[in-house]
Amino acid sequence: MNRRKAVPKDRPKVPNDRPKAPQDDLVSVKFVDAGRSMRETTVCINAKITVQELKLAFAAKASEPLARVQQLMCGGVCLRDDWKVADLKGFKSAMKVNEPAMFIVHRNYTGGTPA
């Protein structure tokens, strides 16, 4: 027989002190995809990778395929095979070199050539 204990009505409600997951990790932005129309993309912030590390990775030629930089990305990030370093705008921002780096990826990209 499982009977619930009686809880006094005047007992104060205990607040939930668990920290909420940060909502800043995923931000919806617009990104021009190499002459195509504007598409909704996701900026994924990986706090373990700094802007300095990202700039070192993108110090390659602008025509370098992004697959070389893919190991720097956080889990679940998909990169288009035909994207070049020059296709990602905004990485040469005025951010400090020790700030977290931002990654722009297609939210619905599953592989192959997008429609």
**Alpha-carbon separation of residue 10 from 5, 7, 14, 16 (angstroms):** 15, 9, 12, 18
Residue 68 lies in a domain: yes
Domain count for the chain:
1
Residue 6 lies in a domain: no
Residue 35 lies in a domain: yes
**Alpha-carbon separation of residue 86 from 18, 20, 60, 63, 64 (angstroms):** 42, 36, 10, 6, 8
pLDDT for res 91: 42
pLDDT for res 52: 56
Residue 33 lies in a domain: yes
Amino acid at the residue 58: F
Residue 18 lies in a domain: no
The per-residue pLDDT string of the chain (115 residues; one tens digit each, 9 = 90 and over) reads: 666 666 666 666 666 555 554 433 333 333 333 333 333 333 343 445 555 555 555 555 555 555 444 444 433 344 444 544 444 444 444 344 444 444 444 334 344 433 3
Residue 115 lies in a domain: no
Question: Residue 77's domain spans which residues?
Answer: 23-106
Residue 84 lies in a domain: yes
